[in-house]
Chains A and B, each alone.
Chain A
Amino acid sequence: MNRARELLAPWQPSVREPFDLARAGHLLRRGAFGGSLALRRSLVARGVDAALDELFDPSSDPQLDAGFTDVVAFDDIERVRAYWVWRMVQGPPRIRARMTLFWHDHFATSNVKVRSARLMARQLQLFERAGLGKFDALLLEVSRDPAMVRWLDSESNVRGRANENYARELFELFTLGVGQYSEQDVKEAARAFTGWHLRGESFAFRQRFHDGAAKRVLGRRGALGGEDVVALAAAHPASARFVARKLLAFFVHPRPTTAEVDALAAAYRDAGRDLGATLRVLLRSRLFFSPRAWRSRIKSPVDFVVGMVRCLGGRAAPLRLTRAIADMGQVLLEPPNVAGWPGERAWMTSATWLARTNFAGRLFTAAYKTHPAAATVLERPRPAQRADLAIELLLDGVIDDTARQAIHRLAETGVPPADLLHAVQCLPEGHLL
């Protein structure tokens, strides 16, 4: 227990380990979608606690949110996708925005089957609204979310002919993981969800299709309804560890240790399964700022593209960005299946590496018009200064000596600044989160 406490104890900045550009960059990349050099510098000046306050700022931006109303009205999946990417690029650095992507991968719903841009947009709105609250409340809302109802066939789940799809994925992929429940649990939980249908495009409980007889689910007996099953699954001890593991894999390291999972699961229970409170502990922890977490994940296409544009502090046409993200293997709102994207090394293939490399090249070549930060590289008179600024801009200034020397040599050949930025971004470090 002591060791567990140590892992999540608040990280203390010191002279040897200050809250510097690298740590501010790490916090912004993992907790948001990255940020400009100016933002990183201002966070360093304000300190780690102020940086966390910024990340966890609960206020919402009505101008940013107004777009949801528009895309819901348009009902065009390309527009929803582009709007979402635009939010990621233009929005303030918020953990809330980051969690929307996390939940989209966790509750992976695809428009290939839902076939309604409107419902997909409403699901994103749900993640944005409830993604940092209590897990129990989020899970209940997701279970009644119209896109989810269509995605996992809840509408064909009726008394006498139960459809197990939602019940199974609820246990297997959303809360417990394989091995923590029995086939009987799935069968009886499916009966508890009978009648959870839609009327038009809204959730409707239809009593006459509901099986009101007694069931036994996860050790509890009674005339259980869907709400009871959701509450049982969320409160199950395996669920705390399951959620903790997913959060650690997303925020800290792709393969969390048992000790790490135990520690975060305990913190999550202590916080009454409040996700915002749990994440605040995690992102302030020694573990989060440890070498184990630093550049230990491979950027997803969203991280790569959105992060690069935010790094430059500039703008880009969102539709072009969503297509670039798709070229790199991530079609937002169409995850490959209900388990979400495999992620990490699976992102990197010959084809997707080329897509990343060529997109970066095009972005930097075009950058001078639209990205003020990129233009500053031009203004540095000496090649070494240009090289160092490029490394600072894109890699928080952290790179080993041999790589730095190689970038310096490249700068001395007098290549255009766009090529310099391109080369820095294409270093292996440029693909690490």
Chain B
Amino acid sequence: MTSWLLVMPIAVPFATAVLAYLMRRAPSGRWISLTGSVLSLVASIALLIAVLNEGVIAAQMSNWDAPFGITLVADYLGVVMVVITAITGLATAVYALGEIPERIEHLGYHALFQTLIAGVTGAFLTGDLFNLYVWFEVMLISSFGLLVLGGTREQLDAGIKYVALNLVSTIIFLSGIGLLYGVTGTLNMADLREAVANAEDQTLITVIAMMFMVGFGVKAGVFPLFFWLPASYHTPTFAVSAVFAGLLTKVGVYAMMRMFTLVFVGDVGFTHEILIWVSLLTMLTGVLGAAAQTDFRKILSFHIISQIGYMTLGLALYTPLALMGGVFYLVHHIIVKANLFLVSGVANKLAGSTDLRRIGGLYKSSPFLAALFIVPAFSLAGFPPLSGFWAKYLIVKAAIELDAWFVAFIALFVGLLTIFSMTKIWGMAFWKPHPDGIDPVPERVPAKIRVPMMLPIIGLAIMTVVIGFFPEPFVQFAETAATQLLDPSDYVTTVLGAQR
């Protein structure tokens, strides 16, 4: 049965994609997509319950024993990412009911979207390195499609940059896999842990580790490999950019966390030291880049980069507390960032643009939306008692415990600059009057579009607040996840001993 618990979160979105494509011209297509998203969430919660009860669970596909077959495995980190993916998927599927026009639905929007979710989920669950590459490609090809769907000039321009840099990163990742196989003769991640530790040529292993760091680094958008991200995330439809912002870069971070706690731990002093500096520069360049922008989504895109820095910092510091902070940050950030992009979509519908200089007056005419913006925005900046505060608190505390005062200072300083950006959006989009004298009241948008667009924003904001006020269970969960990452003996024995 475990096998099926692990398969369902991947199989359901795939099946939904097939059905949604066949029904893409019928009005029922979008409802199939929505039902599929609900079922995915059910499947992933079932998996979560199983992991909470039994610890790490693994299954061999097609009954081929590890390390020869493909293993699916869920530990605490993997399963929480699957659940949060399903939640984000559901939120954006509801949002899409309001936002996505029929013209784009007919091109197969829902099928591509569900394939993307399947790819992301697969990447979180797989225990085989080559299989991870395949899931990356599934994710990539559907994200290419989603990015240029509709085919405006801006989208094509952004698509070229996104596609080109992501393909380069994929090829570097693939070469890394090839070399690693040449050295160790295995690609099962649990098996690799021992094989890499016993490899004769540790220098070559470090070189391969750096190839993986670059490959995943491009996906995650860390300094200096992030240029594709702010060049593309502001062009597709808002539902798409929300799901990109929430999930895609996090897959890179997740893969990094997995590989640099499970496999490449032979030379932590070297690899993780590099990662510390990369993280600090990522945080700073991201937040400074955002300060120069005046487009709602461009500011948010640069903030993704700066926040990625915190997550990789959690990995780089490599203490139980820091990793715990990193995991907590990962989950919190997906919810908050997806929500901010969804808010920008509503702001665009109401005020007519995402260029902050050309909109305004949203606070006066739509105070409810303003309140919903405040929650994720302040959570992003790390205000207590919202979820972002606890995430930042854990990471800064971990830095201070290591006497890394400089690191802690940068982390706090970047938080301060984040507030600056968020108040800029607040001041320009919500506070100042609309430059064209338009009164952007919500009633300008028909309820049929407005309601599905507002519902997910409300839901995600409630989650942010709940995590903020009752962080106990979430922090404990992150603690267990971090313990499992630092001591993966459970993971290794479960994978290599898993039958059926």
Partners in one complex: no
B residues contacting A by CB (< 8 A) are none
A residues contacting B by CB (< 8 A) are none
